[in-house]
Structure 1
Amino acid sequence: MRVRVRTALAAAARSRGGEAPQDDELAAVRSELAELTVPSSPDLRTPRERVAGTDAAVERVRERVAALRGRVQAGREAGRDVAELEDELAVATRELSERETERAAAREALERAERLARESRDARERRRRLEDRWANLERRARAHLVERIREEYETALAAVPDGPERVDDPLAVEGPAAALAVGRVADLRAPVVLDCDRFEGPRAAASRLDVPVVRV
């Protein structure tokens, strides 16, 4: 049996109304974490590819428009009929306008996606900082609570079956003895269920642990 003694003792101290100086700050951090929304990071590859594609399309049509304008100008200067070329130029100019509109829309979509990506990244970083802060506060609160109950726990260790009478570090004790000692110092509101043969019977267990006991 492995018992996380410090965590269990902190819970035991709280069961007796124990508080820690970090409690208010812990509650505030928990509230911030509960309210924090981390949006999903959008796909940036697709909008970037779309922008690249529309850039290429605009440049291609722009070159065609420039070439047609040159041919129209040359034809006019030579006195040739340029009506057909002017029609082609008009079509190409309209296409250029359409491609530029598509490019503008693609760039706006990319900007939105990049903004959402930044927001998602910032929110994840905010959550990470809050979680680190909460863990640090929790460790300090646990240490405070454990210190309040440490001497009683050491006494309880000596009182439970197979518990060490003296030990350099009572918090290093593991196994059933540690679990029973934690149960002895905690204010348990429900009967303790025992699944071990360390007491003569439920009555003896209840007497040693100072709690109601159910034997299984």
Structure 2
Amino acid sequence: MRIKTGFFCFCLLCFLNCKPAELCNAADVSNKCGILQLTKQNPNQDNSLRTPRCTTCKMFVTAISYNANLGGIVGADNKCTSDSNKPATGIYKALIVDDVNRRACTSVNCATGGVTENIDWVFSPNASYVQASNTSNVIFITDVNGVLNNNLTNLISAATGIWTGIKNNPSWDWQTDTTHTCSSWMDSVSANCGTYGVTSWNDSRSIAITSAYGNGGTLNNLLCVEQ
């Protein structure tokens, strides 16, 4: 009988000292549970700001020409940002590819995978591209894959060579010529190492001249595209 009474008293004491369970509020950083949940967020979640995308986008050719050692894709983009021809507003990137840091297509005109073939590509799908110096001059409108396969409506600019790395097939292609990107745009020495376009053509030669390559030391400009 004495054992049963002691057990009963022990249970009663535990009951009187119990606290109700706290509900977890992950948004409450003052709560230990909330802090714990915040530390368990998906480590792969990308919270970085996405590059804005224009729908009527300006393009310009750099005022300065460069050999093929551009400092890679990042270096080319930086040259667009600092160029005197850049409009006062907007983010601009260079139309140039290396197939690793920037790419348009892995199939002809991205016909197989569409925009999933893009890597940091400079064109948006279904967007108009105009001359920065004359925004009423629409150069082309991209398709659903963010490329084009028709002749240009207006020329990009007066005749200027532009480094691109795009495969120079006789027609629009938009695949990277992986053997002609001048060592991912870090080579100013090698012969015939890079593909280039001439902006006075109204067809694919504006992006990639057929059967011609530039030496690493050749001076070409960059085509910069608003994002």
TM class, shorter-length = under 0.3
Higher share in helix:
1
**Which one has a bigger Cα radius of gyration?**
1
TM-score by length of 1: 0.26
Higher share in strand:
2
TM-score by length of 2: 0.26
